[in-house]
Structure 1
Amino acid sequence: MRDFGRSDNPDVQKQLDRLAALSLPQGRIGLDTIRELLKRLGGPHRSLPPVFHVAGTNGKGSVCAFLRAMLEADGKRVHCATSPHLVRYNERIRIAGRLIADERLAELLAEVLDHADGLAPSFFEVTIAASFLAFSREPADACVIEVGLGGRFDATNVLEHPAASGIAALGMDHERFLLAPEEGVPDEQLARIAFEKAGIAKRGVSLVTLSYPEGAELEVERAAARHGSPLAMRGSHWSASTSDTALHYADRHGELVLPLPALPGAHQAENAALALAMLRHQDYVSVSESAYGAGIRSARWPARLQRLAPGPLTGDRAIWLDGGHNRSAGEALARYFEGQSVHLVTGMIEAKDPAALIEPMKSSLLSITVVPVPGYDCHTADAFGADARAAIDVAAALGSLPDDGLPVLIAGSLYLAGDVLRLNEELPD
């Protein structure tokens, strides 16, 4: 299964094969296993530099990218754990600014798996244990940790006292896990999602959030009160807006006028503002105003409205790549391409809803070409509407499009996005 990753390094692949044989690929609800695994490893999660912990449905990876970029622009050494990887497993673990080296990765995975006897840890639990082990052994000024799924029962939620916790945009995704029946949880769906994400709140740690619909906001407020977490919600405790040339931010510390993100899409200004608010609502790591602006401009995040470079797959055509696969992502893409005509090349695994992407974008879609997602059960062309046509792969799909000078968007799956980056020789670094 591709979820477990592949490596050209035989030592890393040996450990990934062990992981595939021992683990639960579908994940697990609960923290008992990760807590026991970390206990066997000596509790590395208690020996980390100050942590910025980020949850959310959409945008949390971008928030992490902005946090890392701002901190590094201030000269800080930053460890970072994000998911999923696009091409190489190493992308999940960044040590002091660099992707983890194969030799070190193989050693860490071996150490974690050797201590996991009888636990049957999930893929993500092993990854987080290896990340925390690496981060505890290498000096740094800060850690940026992205929640994998949900928040309340995510393996990263063993963190006991982060510098700040953040919640990005909320939407519907991973419903099988996050909407599973349970007593004492909200009935309304988005409120339940908010309840799960806000489960990362910790006593005495600022919970920094965007603004949400009323029911979701109420659940975030309740979680903050329940956990004793000071709440810093957009609209109540900080504000952000954009003009044609700037990001305008204000909180109790004052007002800032900063550059707009280089990352395309209006939603990236919101993600940058949330990262900024997280840095300004904590007292563990200081960051200069000049570093805020430099980080906002320098942040990069692959496969999120990424303009592909000329390469073996793309040639010289304008091709955009996005891993978006839910309605919130579809709405963000629709806003970006509003008023334009675009050819869509898409592949989507069976657990996702094609309408979530197609319906928001329908006014911009000139054609829809559906390709398989290699290694996964995925939707066929008929699931995307009567006008959608099939192609055997992305190269064939691109080759079938008219040479009309119009842009192409490849979207629908981060797994598909990873294949596209690999085929176009644009490996994330």
Structure 2
Amino acid sequence: MDSEHRIPVAGLLLALIGSAAPFAAGLSWELSLGLLLVWGCSLFILPSPETRTQSTAPTAEAMRATFAQIIEHSATPLMLTVGNRVVNANNATRTTLGAHVIGQDVRVALRHPNAVELLDSGRNGETVVTGLVRRQDIWRISQVQSDLGFNVVELTNRTAEADVSRAHTDFVANASHELRTPLASILGYIETLQEAPGSIDSKTSTRFLEIIHREAQRMQNLVSDLMSLSRVEAEKHDLPETNVDLGALVRRAAVEGAGHERRNRLTMHCKPDIVVRGDAQQLEQLVRNLVDNALKYGAADGPVTVELTRYGVGNAQLSVADTGDGIPAEHIPLLTRRFYRTDPGRSRAAGGTGLGLAIVKHIVERHQGRLDIESTPGQGTRVSARLPMVETDPSQSLPEQAGATGGLPPEEDVGVHG
């Protein structure tokens, strides 16, 4: 017989003895009978201790509902399944796979042979699938069985990790290729000079040495840019804390980027009293890279305009524009990738490393700014960097202002052209 419907024999005997005691003591039999009836009935009406324990214990369904509430706001997609049927899916899962996943067969929801094999096995484990949400994305699917009659299925997006790993592999391969090309050229000319030292005339020997020097300089520039990119990436989460007079810095860095032989092609327009919170060394590199690119790839002997103005509310905008051939629209989104070139032959001939705009992009990002590239084929290209300004008291001097003009007289703030 079920424990809930068992006759409480011991309780009845105790009730009988307890109710007989008043009658034996000389009280009326009606009192003894009433006591017996009340006591006996209470044994059948009140639940037993075991029944009370069972009634207060949470059911599996209640536990599942509680667990569903706990995982609802987790950033990781999680599902609860019973017999391969999705009974609960948190917000991250509904965003990733759609709200219709609830009530669906989990194997149909995931639609991947590896996932189906894991889910059909009914065991704890994990597998990796591709293309779960978008083509080429990578997900790890884990299944854990619980003692409450349901399984927990977890989806972990591994696409970003794979992209980083692939980017590192591509970066090493590209860097190795870029270094190998000039190195092979250097070694080839050196071997030629060593094998026939007496048979090569002075003019040819001088030409070989010039090529060796040019290729060595190219390698040095590449290594320097690689080190700069590495430093910028390492510091990208460290916000600069120093106030920098951007106008003085732009004037100095632009002239340095142009060099003495190209300085006459520059035209500069810099508004005064523009201060940003930044890393002066990196901001100088940003200006030098933009000016050097414009002079290299713009029209031969054509002017390059450098402008520093206020933009909107609380922003400064540095723009560098050339009058070259321009860049086709399909190339513009790719220009800040490492080693990307629209014309590899021309870039290498000009001494470019393919890293200049990648460095610029990381510097702008570290300074919480924005980089824009506009180009019209046949008219030229304009690259603009917007940076948040710092409002300062004009009476306070900035440490970076000392010697910031780099020898330029004040009247050259507007126009270094010619």
Judge same fold: TM > 0.5, yes or no: no
User: Does 1 or 2 have the higher relative contact order (CA < 8 Å, sep 6+)?
Assistant: 1
More helix by share: 2
TM-score between both structures, scaled by the size of structure 2: 0.19
Which has the higher Rg, Structure 1 or Structure 2? Answer: 2
TM-score between both structures, scaled by the size of structure 1: 0.19
